[in-house]
Amino acid sequence: MTQIIVVTSGKGGVGKTTSSAAIATGLALKGHKTVVVDFDIGLRNLDLIMGCERRVVYDFVNVINGEANLNQALIKDKRCPNLFILPASQTRDKDALTKEGVGRVLDDLAKDFEFIICDSPAGIETGAMMALYFADIAIVTTNPEVSSVRDSDRILGMLQSKSKRAEESLEPVKEFLLLTRYSPSRVTTGEMLSVEDVEEILAIPLIGVIPESQAVLKASNSGVPVIMDQESDAGKAYSDSVDRLLGEELPLRFITEEKKGFLKRIFGS
């Protein structure tokens, strides 16, 4: 059975696209045929982070409008044979996404793929609603700060009332919390909420904590999903999250402050 996973948040800039790219790549690396779909019509970010922006010919909206077929629009990842990207259009407006159109494309993808990852735009407008409507699983991407937590709570409400599963009274969407841009030192100083705080407020199972990391920026700039950088803390944390998504139980890493060595203390890091 194909699983449709929406990576969502309400708030912008929390790491949805970074996480979509990492999780899709991680699932594909584990041998699962995966496609990642960019729902952020008009912005087009995912293809940059996946490093395939120069290979975009047709996009999601072209497929919905019947101007291209899926095979023409899907981009095969160069690094990972099980991974495909369905890019967003940069030029069209968000209203191009209709329930029927999106449903049709997802149905078609489900014939071929084990996992469909939907990278949601920010907000609670049409684009975000379309991205979550068909989901079986939601990865609620949240930063450890009050406004992001509040928006995530809002999105959880939408998942409970506005998703297809809710409307048709099916088994509810499985919700997971992915805490991103986590900075243990800023938790200690009280500038940020702790893992426990966020878990307490949102009350959904935690699937991973991704530390604030230089590696993410480096990865996006070079167009390689950060999960490919297995030397980095963020890369490892995303791998753990993918394993947990697949049912493994792993302890959390990178949630306590790193003790700085003597030299680092003197010279900085």
Partner 1 sequence: MQTPSLELKGSSFTLSVLHINSIDLEKVAKELDSKLAIAPQFFIGAPLVVNLSSISDSSYNLAALKDLLTSRQLVIVGITAAINTLSEQAKTLGLAIIKSGKQAQSQPQLPKTTKLVKQNVRSGQQIYAKNGDLVVIGTVGNGAEVIADGSIHIYGTLRGKAMAGASGDKHAVIIAKTMEAELVSIAGQYWLTDNIQANSTTKSGCIRLDGESLTIESLPL
**Footprint of partner 1 on 106-125 (CB under 8 A):** 124
CB-nearer residue toward partner 1: 11 or 94? 11
**What track of x and - describes contact with partner 1 for positions 139 through 158 (by CB under 8 A)?**
-----------xx-xx-xxx
Q: Among candidates 42, 134, 25, which has minimal Cα distance to 88? A: 42
CB of 151: closest distance to partner 1 in angstroms? 8
Can you tell me the distance from the alpha carbon of 226 to that of 246, in angstroms, rounded to the nearest whole number?
19
Q: Does residue 57 bind partner 1 (CB under 8 A)?
A: no
**What track of x and - describes contact with ligand ADP for positions 17 through 46 (by CB under 6 A)?**
xx--------------------------x-
CB-nearer residue toward partner 1: 68 or 201? 201
What is the per-residue DSSP string for the chain?
--EEEEEE-SSSSSSHHHHHHHHHHHHHHTT--EEEEE--TTT--HHHHTT-GGG--S-HHHHHTTSS-HHHH-EE-SS-TTEEEEPPPSSS-GGG--HHHHHHHHHHHHTT-SEEEEEPPSSSSHHHHHHHHT-SEEEEEE-SSHHHHHHHHHHHHHHHHHSHHHHTT-SPPEEEEEEEEE-HHHHHTTSS--HHHHHHHH-S-EEEEEEP-HHHHHHHHHT--GGG-TTSHHHHHHHHHHHHHTT------S-SPPPPPHHHHHH--
**Ramachandran sector of residue 255 (left: φ over 0; alpha: ψ -120 to 50; beta: rest):** alpha
CB of 54: closest distance to ligand ADP in angstroms? 19
Q: Is position 126 annotated in a ligand binding site?
A: no
> Among 5, 14, 37, 192, which residue sits at the site for ligand ADP (rule: CB under 6 A)?
14
CB of 95: closest distance to partner 1 in angstroms? 22
**What track of x and - describes contact with Mg ion for positions 199 through 228 (by CB under 5 A)?**
------------------------------
CB of 23: closest distance to ligand ADP in angstroms? 12
**Footprint of partner 1 on 194-223 (CB under 8 A):** 201, 203
Q: Does residue 8 bind Mg ion (CB under 5 A)?
A: no
CB-nearer residue toward partner 1: 13 or 157? 157
CB-nearer residue toward Mg ion: 48 or 137? 48
Q: Which parts of this chain interact with ligand ADP (CB under 6 A)?
A: 9, 12-18, 45, 122, 180-181, 210, 212-213, 216-217, 220, 234
Bind-site residues for ATP: 11-18
Q: Which parts of this chain interact with partner 1 (CB under 8 A)?
A: 124, 150-151, 153-154, 156-158, 160-161, 201, 203
